[in-house]
Amino acid sequence: MSKQNILIIDDEIDVIEVSKDILLDNGYNVFYSLNGKDGLKILMDKDIDIVLLDIMLPGMDGWEVIEIMRLNNKTKKIPVIMFTAKKDFKDKILGIQQGAIDYITKPFLPEELVGRIKRVLDV
C-alpha cells in the first residue's frame, strides 16, 4: 500500500516542522504550505488524503480555504482536520459546520495528532 499524503496548511514553521517529523515517523508523506493560497495550489497538484488546516493564516484564513475546498470537485471530499490555537467552543462548532471532520487545538500531543489522523484515514 502506498503512503498516504497529508497537507499541513499553517503559518508557523515551527508547528509544521514538529508535525512533519511526527507524521514522517509514522509513515506518511507530508506536504505543507505557509498560507491558504499556496495550500490550495498543492491540493490541485497533488493527491492529498487529508488536510491539517490552521484557521489564522495570512491573506486567506482557514475558513476561506475550507469553503473553497468544498466547492471544488477535486477537493470537496478530502477530509479536513482544523489544526489551530483557537480553543473557543464556537470555533470548534464552526469548523464542523464548515465541513471539518475533526478539530485539534495546539499545543497537541504527538499521539493525539497521529491517532486522530489514523481514525479518519483508516475508516
Q: In the chain, what are the domain boundaries?
A: 5-121
Q: Architecture of domain 5-121 in CATH?
A: 3-Layer(aba) Sandwich (3.40)
pLDDT of residue 70: 93
pLDDT of residue 60: 95
Per-residue confidence in pLDDT tens, the chain, 123 aa: 568 999 999 999 999 999 999 999 999 999 999 999 999 999 999 999 999 999 999 999 999 999 999 999 999 999 999 988 877 888 788 888 888 999 898 889 999 999 999 999 985
Single-letter amino acid code for the residue at 42: I
For residues 16 and 39, the answer to whether their CB atoms sit within 8 Å is no
* Distance between CA atoms of residues 25 and 53, nearest Å: 20
pTM of the entire structure?
0.93
